[in-house]
């Protein structure tokens, strides 16, 4: 399928680059009305110039007022919301030898608390979208395969994504009777500006457009857990089921050894 059927009103948060940009291009090419959000306006404007169905809504996920103002503009322009697609995220790796709680707070501010702010702003619009003659409203968010398995230096990133996954799985239970579906996306390594900063090997890495196709296919099928590339993410899921002692042994084998200069500093 590789797309969403019908013509939906979609709020895509994190549309400026990577997976979000690839999703935005596909959704706009399919004729959906897509509100594009990210901190930076310029890349959103460049996307919107090429597609009549785009609405540029820059916002700061760390600012609740900014997020709610964007949702208000979306509601006024689109007259409601059928799909929330939250893709925004950040990544910083923690060096346990220089423990930095501020780093953890920064990552959670975007990956978890930012997502909660967006969901808070979008839920009233999704509730109003319920109609027996149209597909059920859909709330979807990109987590990470790192949520399945503790990994070296991923204390902040992995924990923020695991928190997001747990939060949305619980919310899925509580919203089921309201007719709002929730899908979670757990990608492995995808070639994006964010992963370009990684200093380690990324097995089975795929490009952003391949990820976007798989995500849209999963959303159309209303899959609860969309993980891609499946060969890699299935292995990570299975590794996450190992006993703690074996997970520790596996994690220690994945540690990137510090150089002499790093160890001395």
Q: Catalytic residue numbers? A: 157
Cα separation, 53 vs 260, in Å, equals 54
Cα separation, 261 vs 252, in Å, equals 21
Q: What does the angle CA 243 – CA 246 – CA 250 come to, to the nearest 5 degrees?
A: 135
Q: What does the block give as tokens for 201? A: 């090997």
Q: What does the block give as tokens for 35? A: 């509100």
Cα separation, 158 vs 93, in Å, equals 10
Give the CA distances from residue 46 to residues 13, 30, 190, in Å, rounded to whole numbers and listed in that order.
16, 18, 23
Cα separation, 139 vs 224, in Å, equals 11
Q: At a CB cut-off of 8 Å and minimum separation 6, what does 36 contact?
A: 12, 15, 16, 24, 44, 47, 48, 54, 55, 56, 57
Task: Give 43's Cβ-side CA count (13 Å radius).
Answer: 16
């Amino acid at each position: 399928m590789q797309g969403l059927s019908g013509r939906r009103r979609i709020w895509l948060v994190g549309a400026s680059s990577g997976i979000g940009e690839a999703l935005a291009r596909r959704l706009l090419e399919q004729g959906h009305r897509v509100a594009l959000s990210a901190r930076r306006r310029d890349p959103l404007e460049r996307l919107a110039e090429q597609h009549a169905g785009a609405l540029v809504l820059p916002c700061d996920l760390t600012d609740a007022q900014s997020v709610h103002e964007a949702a208000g503009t979306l509601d006024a322009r689109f007259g409601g919301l059928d799909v929330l697609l939250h893709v925004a995220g950040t990544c910083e790796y923690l060096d346990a030898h220089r423990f930095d709680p501020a780093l953890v707070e920064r990552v959670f501010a975007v990956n978890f608390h930012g997502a909660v702010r967006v969901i808070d702003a979008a839920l009233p619009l999704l509730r109003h979208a319920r109609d027996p003659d149209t597909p059920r409203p859909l709330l979807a968010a990109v987590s990470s395969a790192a949520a399945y398995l503790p990994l070296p230096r991923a204390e902040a990133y992995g924990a923020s994504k695991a928190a997001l996954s747990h939060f949305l799985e619980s919310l899925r239970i509580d919203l089921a009777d309201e007719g709002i579906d929730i899908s979670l996306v757990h990608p492995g390594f995808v070639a994006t500006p964010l992963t370009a900063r990684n200093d380690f090997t990324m097995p089975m890495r795929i490009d952003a457009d391949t990820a976007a196709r798989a995500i849209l296919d999963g959303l159309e099928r209303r899959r609860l857990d969309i993980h891609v590339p499946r060969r890699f993410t299935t292995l990570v899921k299975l590794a996450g089921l190992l006993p703690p002692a074996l997970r520790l042994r596996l994690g220690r084998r994945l540690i990137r050894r510090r150089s002499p200069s790093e160890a001395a500093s």
